Amino acid sequence: MTGTPEPPRRRGRPPRDQARQTQARDKLLRAGVAMLTERSFGAVGLDEVLSAVGVPKGSFYHYFGSKADFGLALIEAYAAYFARKLDRWFLDESLTPLARLRAFVEDARAGMERHHWRRGCLVGNLGQEIGTLPESFRDALRAVLADWEARTARLLEAARAAGEIAPSADPARLALHFWIGWEGAVLRAKLEQGPDPLDRFAEGFLEMIERPGA
Amino acid sequence: MTGTPEPPRRRGRPPRDQARQTQARDKLLRAGVAMLTERSFGAVGLDEVLSAVGVPKGSFYHYFGSKADFGLALIEAYAAYFARKLDRWFLDESLTPLARLRAFVEDARAGMERHHWRRGCLVGNLGQEIGTLPESFRDALRAVLADWEARTARLLEAARAAGEIAPSADPARLALHFWIGWEGAVLRAKLEQGPDPLDRFAEGFLEMIERPGA
């Protein structure tokens, strides 16, 4: 949900020119993602991204056909970064499934605090302004949310198998509920400049699903 | 959450000039609110608002000191419109308290559908872009959400008194949970261009609080 992504990893050692190019592309993606977690796509100017990373406009168009293409690449970079983050918590078998969800919430909270409650979720930000974005963004954002929900549903299936939630619980439905509300919680935490909305929403959600004494 | 507000009502009949002025101000507010439920504050230009309602720039500055002042007036107009909407549903004594909440959800759903899932919540939209807005907007938006939560808490108190939710339920806490998640649901409904996120979130919330057989 928050934080600064690492550049995508590539196998093997590229030739020097290619390495420099990859570096410039990664720098653009990192700067763009950081800006879009804080501000809207409409508010972020291309010149600002370029001057933040010292990449000339000509090079930009070498990597991306347009600002819209860049936007789609930013969604992809954020999705990859965030999938790694979810895996780190959701696949941690040293914790029970619901404790892993709590650990994710705690990590998101720490990430927002580290950025002084200014950075939220790139997907939520772009989703909010979807009416003024290229139509291609809609499918990209929906696919990212569907991926997060699928990962969360698998975690909740594990919670059900472990007896932490009721046998009658529907993991896919609960995962959807979580992500619908969680985007609201991140938005609200930015507005309140504090952790309460994240904590309140997560606690309410966990109380709703957790079996007493589990 | 959605829909087009009516102009604020005033008592008595104002003199003709004053009437014309009031009309121009109301037209600006109506157009501004409609635009801000759909797009971000940054994306809406003043010239666009003025030309949409045929009011010259000079008149605009007669009513509002700046675009920021106009923004605060839009929050106020939306809050007044939305408080009337909540009252209409939440104070309808022909329904049980939880049926009133369901009626509100149904109305919000119909409102978003009427505007082809393009219009969301002005407060959620501005909240999402709060990092780039004048700091005075933050308190204004927080106050509006606190008002909605207080109205919802009173409704849930009535639900508790009627035995629809558990005697141990905390209406204020549940109301906060509802509004945190509901803003996420409205955001997501715009993204999905359909009612599912609203329905899923509201159903999940109601299942969480409703006593079986109530």
pLDDT in tens, A95-110: 999 999 999 999 999 9
| Dist. CA A160–CA A163, nearest whole Å | 5
**Percentage helix, strand, coil, to 5, in chain B?**
70, 0, 30
Place of tokens 């919000």: B108
Q: Does B171 touch chain A (CB under 8 A)?
A: no
* Domain presence at residue B5: no
pLDDT score for A90: 98
- Region A123-144: mean pLDDT is 95
Residues 6+ apart with CB under 8 A from A190: A112, A117, A118, A119, A120, B127, B128, B130, B131
d(CA B198, CA B214): 23
Q: For A169-183, what is the mean pLDDT?
A: 97
Contact A204 B174 (CB under 8 A): yes
Query: What does the mean pLDDT of chain A come to?
Result: 91
Its domain, for residue A106, covers 69-209
pLDDT at position A20 is: 75
Q: Is residue A8 pLDDT above 80, yes or no?
A: no
CA atoms lying within 13 Å on the CB side of residue B167: 0
Domain total of chain B: 1
CB A75 within 8 Å of CB A121 = no
CA distance B212 to chain A (A): 14
Is A174 a domain residue?
A: yes
Query: Residue B157 corresponds to which tokens in the numbers above?
Result: 């108190």
pLDDT of residue B90: 98
d(CA A155, CA A90): 6
Which residue in the block uniquely carries the two structure tokens 């406009």?
A: A57
Portion 119-138 of A in contact with B at CB < 8 A: 120, 124-125, 127-132, 138
Residue B94: give its domain's CATH number: 1.10.357.10
Confidence at A145, pLDDT banded by 50, 70, 90: very high
Cα–Cα dist A162/A99, whole Å: 12
Shortest CB distance from B180 goes to which of A38, A118, A188? A188
Asked whether residue A205 is assigned to any structural domain, the reply reads: yes
Q: Tell me which chain A residues have a C-beta less than 8 angstroms from the C-beta of B188.
A: 127, 145, 180, 183
Cα A10 to Cα B146: distance, rounded to the nearest angstrom: 48
Q: How do residues B113-140 score in pLDDT, each as one tens digit?
A: 999 999 999 999 999 999 999 999 999 9
> A64 — phi, psi (to 5°)?
-130, 135
DSSP codes of every residue in A40-76: -TTT--HHHHHHHHT--HHHHHHH-SSHHHHHHHHHH
Answer whether residue B23 is part of any domain: no
Q: Say how far apart CA B87 and CA A174 lie, in whole Å.
A: 31
Segment B141-167, tens digit of pLDDT: 999 999 999 999 999 999 999 999 999
CA distance linking residue A120 with residue A3, whole number of Å: 9
Task: Count CB-CB contacts under 10 A for residue A140.
Answer: 19
pLDDT(B7) > 60: no
Q: Within a domain: residue A203?
A: yes
Banded pLDDT at A19 (limits 50, 70, 90) = confident
How far apart, in Å, are the Cα atoms of B204 and each of A1, A112, A176, B124?
23, 27, 10, 21
- Interface size between A and B, measured as CB pairs under 8 A: 132
pTM to 2 decimals?
0.90
Judging contacts by C-beta atoms under 8 Å, the chain B residues touching residue A138 are: 191, 193
Nearest CA in chain B to A119: B131
Which chain A residues contact residue B173 at CB under 8 A? 200, 204
The whole-angstrom distance between A75's CA and the closest CA on chain B is 15
Residue B197 lies in a domain: yes
Summarised one tens digit per residue, pLDDT across range B38-96 is: 988 988 999 999 999 999 999 999 999 999 999 999 999 999 999 999 999 999 999 99
B20 band by pLDDT with thresholds 50, 70 and 90? confident
The length of chain A, given as a count of residues: 214
A105 lies in a domain?
yes
B145 assigned to some structural domain: yes
